[in-house]
Structure 1
């Protein structure tokens, strides 16, 4: 079952509700235990959740059912921009996962009356799925790619107490929570409604397995990504041009979070390469001196109170006309190192065979293939250099995979800042910044098969036995042998082609 709701709430109302809840006394004692659980433990795809629910009533009372569910819920809110409602906000709750644990009739007390002081035990068993049901994303999307992304399990977000106190860089406006929930329900005979007598929950941290995706197709008009940038350089404050330098980098491979079940403490690491090209304005100009190369990771959390139909971007989230969604950015510095010793490689123009132009010579294009392609010779050659940039996730933050939910999304951007020093005096250092898409994936436990309960194992064994049950093949009776008749004698040729299917006739006078 999946639900989505949005409402406008007030801070004063939430405080009053909290005070009322704290004033209640004499409530039913409920304990939810989880086998092999420890503080800070992370669960992933196909992990089993087994445990018990212990319920002790303070006084004898009647009830009708016990509901044990594994639920995943996303909560977001956007502050109101109206001057008349400064303390109000629009809140959205999206329940994308709800797995129900069936309880047999024999496990209930007969009659269904909880005796005072007696403890009742109800076991449960869940397996974290690898995908959500289609009904968890029922709104319209711009493409199938968006729908498929919304049907993947999102990781826990905004639960600092479950991640060892480390921040996952999520704002208060977005939260994704997984919990085992228990409700004691009684059917009210006066109006036929179900009344919840008591409820409890046990939160768990879930980081599902996320496979590495293909490199992101970056649109030239996209404002949040810059893969290449060209900058003009001057010799000095009042001197001429030195040339142009182009800094570019390709998307690195994904940073893969290790499986929660592994004992390897190795941090997620990947590598990217920064390509440099310097085109001098004059033949005598030499490449500039490089300074420091700084790297940062920017975590962008998109949140909305209405389902998003496309992959969110900074442009649509920060639009002044957008009041139902927003974005929160947080940056983490990785490293800053001097790259002055990088070696430049000179590429001199090389003449090739071909027809002479007005200037008397031709050179081959740098991007041509083995066939003879020629372009006019330039005034000078160019220089190239490359810088290997290792990327390692720091351990002082809680990292979650890249994901896109109906109301919450998380993406990462690798920021590269290169400082360039010109030889002339009085010219400040130039800075070139790139913003590269960065993906974080998760290994999970994809190869681990979930354990079966005794009932599931018995059912699987019965299906196997049925498959291998001997079958008896009987010989058909004599009345059914040799009596097959083809009911269709029509030609297979298309209509009006019947004449071609007839036998050839001799032509009169032929030899």
Structure 2
């Protein structure tokens, strides 16, 4: 039997069962959100309140209306192994499910939906600022990884809530939705869904800026320093050596959705250039163009990650159930020929550095092995603004159990030598970059009337006046506590008696 026959058979079975229990056609169901507008983005601690309206086409009995706020991650990885017949391996991670408690007064009595009657069921959810520990129950190599997996991931790969491209592949999706189900208990005690509907939401949780990454030697994802030897001409001698370095730029923090349209978020990267001439006659080279682009990397897997994924870790731990998708967006291209060089003289070997100088080693410091005492070198600084284009939907950097998103800033600097016949040299740097989100962390989560009344009652009970009185004389000195022998703490004698005795074999 082919897949189409199986699907038709399954649909027919469900339709027959629904007709047998009294529901011959689907009811009209609407999920209405308060203060909602098309394209609205929700964030941490935002309230999702509204109601569900259900209109039945004919009288139908039901047992429960279930309204939930759910978050799910879906991935699939193409199977390249010849040892399997499956085209792909899929994974679904339901990391969030909040259920709205329903009161008996919300239901009709008896629980029979009358034909043409519209029933309204209110709901109220609050987007949490963190997931429960059970959302990530697999093994992690560090606590830092487990903590990262307990943060809410942003909506990704869902074109129903975001018209603009968010640079996500089809192999990974993060979806949030409000779902409503009409349930009825079957003869075997299981709940059967008579009808259901969902409404997807665009959620971008708050994400604070993390500390700068510690780039280890041999990490192929990033290059923070590059050194290149320059020549005067095709058949001439060396001009000198140029070193281009940079540190991780500060993160771009997406503004809170409640602020509306604001100016594009901007960060700044700093390029430090140092030129060590081959001889005193060599002058610094002429700089050319500087192009900047941002690379978005999406890691997806059909199996939970025990570590934070990267290109380096994927190479070291090659698995067919993991994949990666890279895409780049150009940011800027400009000429930096006007950047001026500053001449320096390397400090003598016996010169002591000031206490205010940095203790970090750098290729642009006077303590570089290339700098001989008394030699001359040149330095320059280039400021590189980073502005995210508004033509894309930018989501914060995140790591979940099976999906991660990271960013890299690629800088390409062209350098021209004075000799003829020598092509321009290019130095490329790849800097780690973060995108965060403000959210509404300063706002308190709204409480329902019942929650506010319970909190007030607890406060009043805690602040209730209490009087400490001297106990009655009849109760003083009349309490006798006689512990049982088994309840007494062990003494040394008891411990010694319980030890096995050593018997001399010769006396047996």
**TM-score between the two structures when normalised by the length of structure 1:** 0.84
Pick the aligned partner of 1:176 from 169, 174, 199.
Answer: 174
Unaligned segments of structure 1, at least 5 residues? 1-11, 355-362, 485-511
Contact 1:318–1:326 (CA under 8 A) maintained in structure 2? no
- Of 171-180 and 339-348, the range deviating more from structure 2: 339-348
Contact 2:160–2:200 (CA under 8 A) maintained in structure 1? no
CA RMSD of aligned residues (A): 2.9
Matches within 5 A, 1:55-454: 55-83=54-82, 88-163=87-162, 165-189=163-187, 191-263=188-260, 265-317=262-314, 321-351=318-348, 377-378=372-373, 380-454=375-449
Q: Secondary structure at the match of 2:421?
A: coil
2:506 aligns with none
1:87 CA displacement: 7.2
1:73 CA displacement: 0.2
Contact 2:157–2:173 (CA under 8 A) maintained in structure 1? yes
CA–CA distance in structure 1, aligned partners of residues 158 and 451 of structure 2: 33
1:63-90: CA deviation from partner (whole Å, max 9, x where unpaired): 1111111000000001121458677211
CA–CA distance in structure 2, aligned partners of residues 383 and 438 of structure 1: 28
CA–CA distance in structure 1, aligned partners of residues 213 and 101 of structure 2: 43
Contact 2:345–2:374 (CA under 8 A) maintained in structure 1? no
2:498 aligns with none
1:119 CA displacement: 1.5
CA–CA distance in structure 2, aligned partners of residues 39 and 233 of structure 1: 56
1:445-478: CA deviation from partner (whole Å, max 9, x where unpaired): 0111122222122222222222222222212345
Unaligned segments of structure 2, at least 5 residues? 16-23, 360-366, 480-508
Contact 2:275–2:284 (CA under 8 A) maintained in structure 1? yes
CA–CA distance in structure 2, aligned partners of residues 403 and 106 of structure 1: 42
2:459 aligns with 464
Q: Secondary structure at the match of 1:417?
A: strand
1:439/1:456 Cα in 2 relative to 1: closer, same or farther (>3 Å)? same
Contact 1:247–1:277 (CA under 8 A) maintained in structure 2? yes
1:502 aligns with none
2:51 aligns with 52
1:320 CA displacement: 9.4
1:116 CA displacement: 2.0
1:100 CA displacement: 0.7
CA–CA distance in structure 2, aligned partners of residues 310 and 87 of structure 1: 27
- Of 420-429 and 470-479, the range deviating more from structure 2: 470-479
- Of 473-482 and 96-105, the range deviating more from structure 2: 473-482
Q: Secondary structure at the match of 2:375?
A: coil
1:235-288: CA deviation from partner (whole Å, max 9, x where unpaired): 111111111111000111110000000135121111111000111111111111
1:438/1:321 Cα in 2 relative to 1: closer, same or farther (>3 Å)? closer
Matches within 5 A, 1:4-83: 13=3, 17=7, 26-83=25-82
CA–CA distance in structure 2, aligned partners of residues 155 and 81 of structure 1: 30
1:444 CA displacement: 0.4
Contact 2:62–2:113 (CA under 8 A) maintained in structure 1? yes
1:490 aligns with none
CA–CA distance in structure 2, aligned partners of residues 153 and 15 of structure 1: 39
1:294-332: CA deviation from partner (whole Å, max 9, x where unpaired): 111000011000000000011343679421011111111
2:500 aligns with none
1:110 CA displacement: 2.0
1:60 CA displacement: 1.8
Number of residue pairs the alignment of both structures matches: 461
